[in-house]
Structure 1
Amino acid sequence: MPSEPRIVIVGAGIGGLAAAIHLAAAGRPVLVLERAAVPGGKVATAAVGGVAVDTGPAVLALRPVFEALFEAGGGSLAAELALDPLPVLGRHLWPDGRRLDLMADPAAAEEAIGDFAGPSAARGFRDFVARAARVYRALEGPFLTVQRPGMLALGARVGPALRGTSPFGTMWDALGEHFADPRLRQVFGRMAAYVGSSPLQAPATLLLVAHVEMSGLQVVRGGMVRLAQALAARAAACGADIRYGAPVAELLVRGGRIAGLRLADGQAVAAEQVVLNADPAGLPAGAFGRAAAAAVPALPASRRSFSAFGWAMAGRAEGPDLPRQAVFHPADAAAEYAALARGRMPAVPTVTLWAQGRLAPAAPPEGAEPLLALVAAPARGDTQKLDPAPPRAAMQAALAGAGVTLRAAAEVVATPQDHAARAPGTGGALYGAAVQGWQSIFHRPAARTALPGLFLAGGATHPGAGIAMAALSGRLAAAAVMGEKP
C-alpha cells in the first residue's frame, strides 16, 4: 500500500470533522475521506425547485460545545459563523384547536404555560426546568464529556447528584410528576423523539434534553450546511487533508490490528489508526468488510431508534403565521408511540413542520420558501418498505386541521427505506440505539472498539445523538486515538 498519513478518518460528518480538528491541531497527520462531494454527513441540504432546504438537523444547540471546538482549532465560532437565537422554540397545536408557543425565555415560557393550563402548570414547569438542569449537571462531567464509564463507576459518581430525580423511572412518568395536563406531557415528551426514542420507554434522565433546549437554540444563517463547511475549513487550516468523492469499501486488518482501508475504486490507503464516522451498525452488517465485522456487537432490531418520513419542499405554508418550528400533535400520544414500538406507522402521527425561512411567527415570504415536514416511522429493516402515501395524507390532514395549507411547487421525499440504503445495518434508524430504559446509555458504542486501531465517532456512538453530541464524540475519539499505545 502507498504511504499515507497515519490517521485516517472515514466520513466528514460533524463527528469526523471534530476528530480531525482535535487531531490536526495536536500535530497529528490526518486524512479525511468523504464519499459525498461536500462535508456534513446528515447535516445536508437538498436543492428543491431552486430552493435550498436543510434536510437534517435544523438548529444548533449547546453553543459552548462548538465555541470550544472552533477554539481548539485556532478559530472562533463568532468570527466564522453568523448565528441568530431562536425566540420561539416551537409552536404546539392540537386537533381541538388549542395552541401553545413555547418561548426560549424561561419566564415567558412559564407565563405562556400558565395561560395555557393554569397556575399549577406554571409552577410545574418551573420545577421541571430546575429538575432538568440538575440531571444535565449531574451527567455532563461524569458521562457526556468523558470516555464512557462502566455502570458501577457512573452510578457511584452521579448517584448522589440524581437523588430525588427518579432516574430509574420513565420520562413519561417523570413528566406526569410536573404536569397534570396530558398535552404538556406531549410537548416535553417530544424531546425524546429528538433522539429517536419514545418518552414512554425513555429513562427520566433524558430530561436533560429539555435543559439543552431551554438553554437556547441557534439558527445558522445560510443553512446548517454552513456549520459543516466552517468546520471543514477549520480542519484544513489545522493541516488535515480532506478528500471528497472517496467512498470506503473495506477496512483492512493485519495481525489483529487495523492496517488501512480500500476505496471503492480499488485504491489501498495505509493507516495505523482509523476513526470511523459512520453508524457502527454497518460494521457487523459487513458494510466495511468481513475483517472488521466483529469490532462492535450488532444492535438488535428491538433497540433501534426511530426512522422518519421527510418531505423537503419549496412552496408556501399558508394560514396562521408560523414560527420556524410547528408541532402538530395527535389527541392520543400513547397510541402513536405504541404503534411505533410495534413496528407500525401510527394512524395519527405527530407532524413537525420547519418553515426554515422564519425565526419568530411570520407570514410566508414572497415566492417559494424552504419547508421540511417530518413524521416519525419505525426502523423495520432494509427490505421492508413502508408506503409513504398514508403518512403524507396524515401530515396534510394534521396541518389542515390547524388551518395550515401546504402549497408545494416542488418536493423531495426521503423514506425509511432511503435511510436504510444509505446506512446498511441500521434498518433506517436515524439515531443509533434508542434510549429505552436506564441501562440504554450503555448500549451505545464508545470510541474504542474491539479491533485495535479502530475508533468510532458520530451521533450513533457515545455520548448520544444530535450534532453537539456528535461533536463531543469526535473529541472523545481523538483523545482515544492519541491515548492508544500501538
Structure 2
Amino acid sequence: MTHVSAPAPLRAVIIGAGIAGLACAVRLRAAGYAVTLLERHDAVGGKIRTIPSPAGPIDAGPTVLTMRHVFDDLFAQLGASLDDHVTLIKQDTLERHFWPDGSQLDLYADHERSIGAVRAFAGAKAAAQFTQFCARTRSLFSAFDAPMMQTADPRITTLVAKVLAQPALIPAMAPLSTLRGLLRHSFDDPRLRQLFGRYATYVGGSPTHAPALLSLIWQAEAQGVWVVEGGMHKLTQALAALLDQHGVDTRTGAHVDRIEVQQGRASAVHLSGGARLPCDVLVHAGDPRALATGALGPSTAHVAPQTTRAKRSFSARVLSFAATPHGPDLAHHNVFFAADAEAEFRDLMAGRIPATPSFYICALDRGQTGTPPPLERFEIITNAPATAADTTPDSGPEDLSPWLHQITQQMTQAGITFSPTPTTDAVTPPHVFAQMFPASLGALYGQTPHGLTAALNRPRARTQIPNLYLAGGGTHPGAGVPMATLSARHAAEAILNDQTSISTSARTAMRGGMSTA
C-alpha cells in the first residue's frame, strides 16, 4: 500500500505585529496556515506600546477597549476565551469631562444615568437633546455596522440601497453637513457640542471638516468601555502568547527590506539581514502608504495609490509618566477641554500645534480593582498635526518645553498637579511616530476622515497583486483597536475565499484534463 503524505500547509507571512497583524496571525493559524509574523520593533503591539517607569510599564497608545465582541470572537478562533487570557473591567463611568469654567460632566454606561447627569449639568432641554442625539447615533450605528464596518468590500450602491430602504436615515446622516454643523443643530449648550465633536479626533479628524455621519462613533463608547487590567499591552501580550502556543513563528527586530514579486504574485519577503522568506500568502499589516511610496521595494509601489494623494490624519503628542496626583478626583478616562474649540481646530487644520489644546488624561490605575497605588501611571494626549517628513525635522530636535509648559499651566488652572512634575523626556511627538511606523508621516489614523466618502476611499483587504493583502488602521474599516482588528478578519476571509476559488479552479481544470484524455 502506497503511503500518501499530507500536503504541507500553505505559508503565510505577515508584516507588522500590531493588533491587526496579531489578529491576522490568529485567524490564519486557525485556518491551518504555517504563519510567520514579522515585527521591526523589539516587542509586538504596534501602537499599543509602553514605556518603562518606576511604577511599571505605562501605556503610550490606546487606553481602553470598546466593541468587546470583536475580541471575544478573535480569541474563539483558536478555541480560547478572552476572559481566560486578560481581565477586563467594564467601566460604570465612561468618561469624565472638565471645562475651564469649572463645570464637570460624567457620562455613564447606564443611559438613564447619563441623561440625569446631562440634566443636572445643562438643564431639561439639554437632556432631551442628548436623548434625541443618542437615538439618532444609535440608529446610524445599527444601520451602517453590517454594510460598512462588518463588510470587507463596502459598495456605495449597497449603502445607497440601505438608505433608500430606510428613508429616516437621510436626515439622521445629515449628508450635506459636517459634524460641527450637525452638533450646532443638536445641542444649544456649546459644551455639549464640544464634547461630542471630539469624537472626530478618534479617527484623526476635525469636527469642522469631518462628515456628520461620524457622530455614530459615540455609540462605540456608549455600548460599553472596558479597561484591561494592567494596561492595554496585556491584550497584545496575551495574543502573542496564544500564537506561540499554536506554533506561530513570531520574529521581533525583523526589518523588511523589500517584497519580492514573481509572475505577478508576491513570492517572498527579504529581511535587511539578508534572509529570504518564501510565502504563499503575504499580509502587510502596516501603513499601506509604505507600499505606495516604494518603501518596501518597487514591485509593490502601485498598491494603495490613494494613500499618497490623500491628506493625512492628525497625529498626537503623548506624555507617559508615573507620579502622585493632587487635585480633582480622576476617572480612568478624563477629558479637559480648551476654552476655544474653534481656535484649537483652526490651528490643527493649518498644520500648527494648538496654542491652547484640549487634552486627555488616562489615569491607568483608576477604574481597576482595588485602590490606586501612591505612584500612579498616567498618559496625557493632545492632538497634533502629522509631520511633513518621516524623520526628525531638518531644524533639529523639536523643543517640546513650551507645549509641556502650556499643558502644565492648563492643568494647574483645573486644580491638578503631579509629583514629580513630568518632563519632556517622557513625550512621544509626531516625528517619532513617523520613525516608528514607516511612511506614516506620523499620522496615527492613516488618511484623513474628512469628506462624506472618505471612509470608502481607504484601501481594502485585496490588492492588485493576487496574494498580497492589507490590514491595519490605515485600511478599511478604519482606525482604532476594534476597527484594525476587524480589518484582520476582512483580510483573512479574503484569503480563505480566494484560496477556495483557486482550489475549485484547479479541480475543474484537472477534471477537464482527465475528460480530454
Shift of 1:478: 0.5
Deviations 1:269-307 (A, max 9, x none): 101210011011111222211221111115257621111
1:166 counterpart residue number: 173
Deviation at 1:360, TM superposition (A): 8.1
Q: Which residues of structure 2 form unaligned runs of 5+?
A: 1-7, 503-517
CA contact (8 A) 1:314 1:371 kept: yes
Equivalent position of 2:402 in the other structure: 390
The alignment-based identity, stated in percent, is 40
Give the one of 373, 382, 402 matched to 2:414: 402
Of 80, 87, 93, the residue aligned with 1:82 is 87
Larger Rg: 2
> Does the 8 A contact of 1:278 with 1:458 survive in 2?
yes
Q: Deviations over 1:162-189 (max 9, x none)?
A: 2331341211222223211111011111
Residue 287 of structure 2 corresponds to 279
Structure 1 counterpart of 2:261: 253
Contact kept, 8 Å, 1:36 with 1:244, in 2: the verdict is yes
Matched, 1:200 2:208: yes
Distance in 1 (CA, whole Å) between partners of 2:368 and 2:40 is 37
**Any runs of at least 4 consecutive aligned residues in structure 1 with deviations exceeding 6 A, and if so which?**
360-364
Within the alignment, does 1:418 sit opposite 2:432 as a pair? yes
2:197 is the alignment partner of 1:189: yes
1:35 aligns with 2:40: yes
- Secondary structure, aligned partner of 1:449: coil
Mapping of 1:85-104 within 5 angstroms? 85-104=90-109
1:16 corresponds in structure 2 to: 21
The one-letter amino acid of 2:155's match is G
Tell me, yes or no, if the aligned pair for 1:341 and 1:378 is still in contact at 8 Å. yes
Q: Is 1:472 the counterpart of 2:486 in the alignment?
A: yes
Judge conservation of contact 2:315–2:443 (CA < 8 Å) in 1. yes
Indicate whether 1:369 and 2:381 are aligned.
no
2: distance between equivalents of 1:414 and 1:33? 24
Distance 1:454 1:221 in 2: 36
- 1:6 maps to 11
Counterpart CA distance in 1 for 2:453 and 2:241 is 38
Amino acid at match of 2:406: A
CA–CA distance in 2 between the matches of 1:357 and 1:128?
32
Q: 2:57 aligns with which of 37, 52, 56?
A: 52
Structure 1 CA distance for aligned equivalents of residues 9 and 249 of structure 2: 11
Aligned partners of 1:375, 1:283: CA distance in 2, in Å?
A: 29
In 2: Cα distance, 1:418 partner to 1:461 partner = 22
Distance in 2, Cα, partners of 1:453 & 1:433: 24
Provide the residue aligned with 1:456 in structure 2.
470
In 1, the alpha carbon distance for the partners of 2:171 and 2:370 equals: 42
Unaligned segments of structure 1, at least 5 residues: none
- Work out which of the residue numbers 129, 132, 136 in structure 2 matches 1:127: 132
Mapped partners of 2:370, 2:323: distance in 1: 15
Contact 1:321/1:363, CA 8 A, preserved across alignment: no
8 Å CA contact 1:4–1:269 kept in 2: the answer is no
Q: Deviations over 1:65-102 (max 9, x none)?
A: 11111112211112221111122222211111111122
2: CA distance, partners of 1:94 / 1:392? 19
Question: Structure 2-normalised TM-score?
Answer: 0.89
Q: Which residue number in structure 2 is paired with residue 379 of structure 1?
A: 386
Q: Deviations over 1:206-255 (max 9, x none)?
A: 12211110111000112111111222233344443222222212111112
2:255 partner amino acid: P
Does the residue aligned with 1:283 lie in a helix, a strand or coil?
helix
Once superposed, what is the RMSD of the aligned Cα atoms?
2.1
Task: Return the offset for 1:142.
Answer: 0.7
CA contact (8 A) 1:167 1:438 kept: no
Partner of 1:430, secondary structure, is coil
Q: Amino acid of the residue matched to residue 434 of structure 1? A: T
Residue number in structure 2 paired with 1:354: 362
1:313·1:408 contact (CA, 8 Å) conserved in 2?
A: no
Where 1:282 maps in the other structure, the secondary structure is helix
Structure-to-structure mapping, 1:56-67, within 5 angstroms: 56-67=61-72
Q: CA distance change for structure 1 residues 76 and 165 in 2, over 3 Å: closer, same or farther?
A: same
Distance in 2, matches of 1:298 and 1:389, equals: 36
TM-score of the aligned structures, taking structure 1 as reference length: 0.94
Contact 1:4–1:271 at 8 Å: present in 2 too?
no
CA distance in 1, matches of 2:214, 2:31: 34
Q: Which has the higher contact order (CA 8 A, sep 6+)?
A: 1
Deviation by residue 1:415-437 (Cα, 9 ceiling, x = unmatched): 11101111232221001112112
Contact 2:229 2:368 in 1 (8 A): no
> In the alignment, is the contact (CA less than 8 A) between 1:381 and 1:420 conserved in 2?
no
Pick closer, same or farther for the CA change 1:361–1:187 going to 2, 3 Å. Answer: farther
Q: Which amino acid aligns with 1:340?
A: L
- 1:309 partnered with 2:321: no
Query: How many positions carry a matched residue from both structures?
Result: 483
Whether the 8 Å CA contact 1:59–1:224 is kept in 2: the answer is yes
Give the secondary-structure state (helix, strand or coil) at the position aligned to 1:43: coil
SS across alignment from 2:386: coil
Deviations 1:115-156 (A, max 9, x none): 111101101111111111111111111110111222223222
